[in-house]
Structure formats: structure tokens, C-alpha cells
Amino acid sequence: MRTKYRVSKGLNLRLSGAAPLDPSDIATESRCSSCAITPDDFPGFEPKAAVKEGDLVGAGAPLLFHKADPEVKLTAPCGGRVSAVVRGERRKIVRVVVEPAEGTEAVTFATPDKDASAEEIASLMKTSGLWAMMRRRPFDTIPLAGDEPRDIFVNAMDTAPLATDPTAAGGFDKRQLETAVAALRKLTKGNVYICVAEGANFVDVAGARMCEFTRLHPAGLVGTQIDAIAPINKGETVWTLNLDTLVRLGRLLVTGKLDNKVVCTVCGPALKTPRVVRAFIGEDVRDLLAAEKEIPANVRIISGNVLTGVQVGEDGYLRYPYTQLTVIAESNDDAEFMGWASMSPSKLSVSSAFPSSYNKREFRPDARLNGGRRAMIMSEVYDKLIPIDIMPEFLIKAILARDIDRMEALGIYEVAPEDFALAEFADPSKLELQRIVREGLDFMRKETQG
């Protein structure tokens, strides 16, 4: 039986360019020319190269390992030749690129039996790369070696703009899901929760507590789900992972092989042929856009959704944990009559002062900021869009002031940057809320953990 939760605060952005879910497209794999692992996508991971340019690696072979815990690795999404280990300032590893090549075999991992200990399960997840695909709260980083999570949350829904429901593709192996949940239960003394969208056609998994949420964004964010089910208190730790990671863990435990494919939504108002395709983690953006005969000039390509995604170029890569590529117009030089004061029904706004808030049309947003940054305006818009039980405006002020006591009292341990993405979109102050929260979390982690 599923426990149902209703989220009343939030907003679903009605954008054009949605991709139809066609099972025939999902069955067809993209033609992968290269894929890349970017260490910055795994907060808390301190990378050190395990390979050099020219090495042949199999799918699942280690590319990078964590300096603080060398057993934690990031592994190759596909088998092939390491074509580049790209470094930035101070020789920081920016990404490792692998190009598919013949003569490579996927790594087969030794799978523990059903009586395996928590240590054996954790060791397998670390060496296979699945450990780094989880997140811990507080601080929204990869789990620490000695963590004992109070609960583990599996997010099996996505309410972001133009996102595809992760459960919609179907084809899940119930035995593998139950095996994965049984393994996760050994890592916590609490519960394993699986959160799905209202009406989702997804099996109930034995051993997990099934929770169902309304489809109002940000109900699809794990922070919203944790706050509704079992909020985090100071001194507690919870782990989170998405449905793809749960599926990968189940397949790994049953077959000894990693499944590094994702169902990727290629969408956005700037595309003529939005689609859903099966691709590798970290796949080349050009492969994902191959079906688009002509990419319009002056567009912004976003790995992820328009709220939380990372801007990448046409020569970039799909960033983790995103399974979405969104293309919108840049329009840097476009001028608009009356600017922000225009009452045009084509202007996307959350304010009831604009006619667009009353119609049901789909909007075609671009990347313009439509205004300059200014001092923080206490408009209460954050409270209307963030369902987590915190005082978001005061928390942002405490973060900017680096007031540790107030940050703790106002709920810094409960949040992640993505929880503020919708408020950042509607913020009349034009503050970079996600960046502020990320810096606040990193500051708190450094001050409390050293």
C-alpha cells in the first residue's frame, strides 16, 4: 500500500518543446562517439586519475578514485580508449573522455550472496561507481565512508520542466529491484523509501515503503519528499539516490554487470524534433542532437532542465545526474518594448499581475535575465514556491552572513541547491540562490567536518 502526500506549494512551468515518449525510440540506442565523466558532478569527490590517455578500458573500469577513500571510484560508462584526461587550473581534473573501441569487454564484478554483510555491499558499490551516484544530507555530497544513514530515499519521479517520468518507460525487473532494496536495507537501520508520482505505473517493491506524491513541482525533488515523510534533524544523516541508480544496483547484484545507459529526454522550444532516446551516462551532446538536422544559431544547450541544469556547448557532454538535454534560445541582443513592464501574454511570469498567469498556453522562454541584480527584496515569493518547512529568505541571509548558528537553526542541513531553483527563477532580486546555497553548504561542511 502506498502512502500518499499532497504538495500544495510550487509551480509547473508550461514550456513548449516536450518530447513524446515513443518506446521505439527508447529501444534504439544512440550512436555513441564518446562519453565523459566530470568529477565536479559528484560533490565531495576529490579526483585522482586511475588511467592515462591512450589506455583501453572496459565498461565499469575505474577512471578516477577518491583521494580521501581510494576504494570509491568513478567508472567508465562505455568500453573504449581514454582519448583525453582534461585538466584545468592547478592541474584540476575537469573530465575524462572515453571513445568506444573494439576489443574491450565490460568488467564483471564479483557479486556477494544474499547473506552478504553491509561492508561487502558497500565495497561493491564503491568499486563499481554506484557509491558516488548517491548523495547524503546534510551537505548534498557523496556519502562518507563511516556514514550510518537514518533512512535511504529513492527518488523515482521528476516534475522538472519538460522532464519525462522515470517510470514511464517501464520494463523494470521486479526481482532486481527487490534485490537492490534488500541490499540498501543492510546499509541502514531505518527505512528505504521509494517515491513515485501520483498515478505512476510502477510496481510496489517488497522491503521498501512506497510513497506517492502529486505532480506539482518541486514534489519531484528529494528534498521535498524527505521533508514530507521524515524531516532531517541536526546530527542525522540520510542517503538519496535516483531510480536509475537503484536499477543499476539491482542488475549489478544479479548479473555482475553495470548498466550505464539512461533514458534521455532531448527537448526544448528551440528544437524541431524533441525525442526520448537511450544513451550512455556522460554521452557527447552531438550524439544526442544527431536527429536534429539543423541546430538554430544563438541557442543555449543545457544538460538538465532549465531550472537546475548546467550550460554545455554543442561539443559538451551530458552531465550527471541529468537525463535531460534542453535547448532554448539565447536572445542576448533582443530588445522588448517596455521591457519587464510589458504586459504581453507571451511573457512567462508567476505573478497574477501578468495576463500569462491565467492562460494555459505553452511558453517559449529564452536565456535573458530580464533585469539586473539588486538588493534582496523580501517579497515572500520563496515561501510560495518552496514547500520545505523552513524560512528560506532568512536562511539565504544567514548564508550570506556566514552565521553558523542561524544557518543551523534555519534548516541548512535539510536543503540542497536544487531546492531553491524554482524560487531562483521567480526571484525579483535576481539572486543566484543555488550558488549561494552550494557555497553555504560547502562552508558548513568545512567548519563542522574539517
> What is the chain's mean pLDDT, rounded?
91
Looking at per-residue confidence, does 347 or 43 come out higher?
Answer: 43
**337 contact partners, CB below 8 Å, separation of at least 6:** none
User: Which has the minimum average pLDDT: 172-181, 275-284, 360-369, 401-410?
Assistant: 360-369
Residue 450 CB-half CA count within 13 A: 1
Rounded Cα–Cα distance for residues 241 and 262 (Å): 15
- Per-residue pLDDT of 53-97, as tens digits, reads 999 999 999 999 999 999 999 999 999 999 999 999 999 999 999
The rounded radius of gyration (Å) of the Cα atoms in the chain is 22
Report pTM.
0.94
Which whole-number Å values give the CA distances from 425 to 9, 70, 298, 369, 429, in the listed order?
15, 39, 21, 10, 10
- The rounded Cα 61 to chain-centroid distance in angstroms is 23
| C-alpha separations of 204 from 2, 49, 97 in Å | 8, 40, 38
Q: Are 242 and 166 in contact (CB under 8 A)?
A: yes
Which segments of 129-219 does DSSP mark as H helices, in order? 174-185
Max CA distance (Å), the chain: 69
Cα distances (Å, whole numbers) of residue 361 to 8, 14, 326, 358: 22, 7, 19, 9
> Once rounded to an integer, what is the mean pLDDT over residues 133-162?
96
For the chain, what percent of residues have pLDDT higher than 70?
Answer: 91
Sign of CA dihedral 416, 301, 368, 39: positive
Confidence of residue 353 (pLDDT cuts 50, 70, 90): low
pLDDT > 80? residue 344: no
189-195-200-202 Cα dihedral, nearest 10 degrees? -20
Give the H/E segment covering residue 324. Answer: strand 324-329
pLDDT value at position 343?
Answer: 63
Tracing cell 544479479 back to the chain, one arrives at 254
**Alpha-carbon gap, residue 266 to 381, rounded angstroms:** 30
Distance of CA 105 to the CA centre of its chain: 29
Nearest CA to 302 among 285, 283, 277?
A: 285
Taking the alpha carbons of 335, 339, 343, 345 in that order, is the dihedral positive or negative?
A: positive
pLDDT tens digits for range 185-201 = 999 999 999 999 999 98
DSSP letter for each residue of 56-98: EE-TT-EEEEESS-TT-EEE-SS-EEEEEEEE-GGG-EEEEEE
**Selection from 215, 156, 158, 160 nearest residue 13 by Cα:** 160
Among all chains, which residue has been given the C-alpha cell 575505474? 62
- Give all strands (DSSP E) within 133-290, no chain letters: 135-137, 151-155, 192-197, 209-213, 238-242, 261-267, 275-280
What's the CA gap between 337 and 92, in Å, rounded? 45
Contact by Cβ (8 Å): 214, 138? no
Q: Is the pLDDT of residue 149 over 90?
A: yes
* Predicted confidence (pLDDT) per residue in 224-243, tens digit: 999 999 999 989 999 999 99
φ, ψ at 329 (rounded to 5°): -70, 145
- Type and span of the H or E element at 328: strand 324-329
Average pLDDT of the residues in 377-405: 93
Summarize pLDDT for 17-31 with one digit per residue, the tens. Answer: 999 877 666 655 668
What is the C-alpha separation between 85 and 37, in angstroms, rounded?
A: 10
> Phi first, then psi: what are they for 155, rounded to 5°?
-95, 110
Instruction: Give me the residue label for grid cell 521535498.
Output: 224
Using the predicted structure, report yes or no on whether residue 355 has a pLDDT greater than 80: no
* Residues comprising the chain, all counted: 450
Can you tell me the distance from the alpha carbon of 139 to that of 130, in angstroms, rounded to the nearest whole number? 19
pLDDT value, residue 1: 81
Provide the pLDDT for residue 359.
63
CA-angle at 97, arms to 134 and 318, nearest 5°: 55
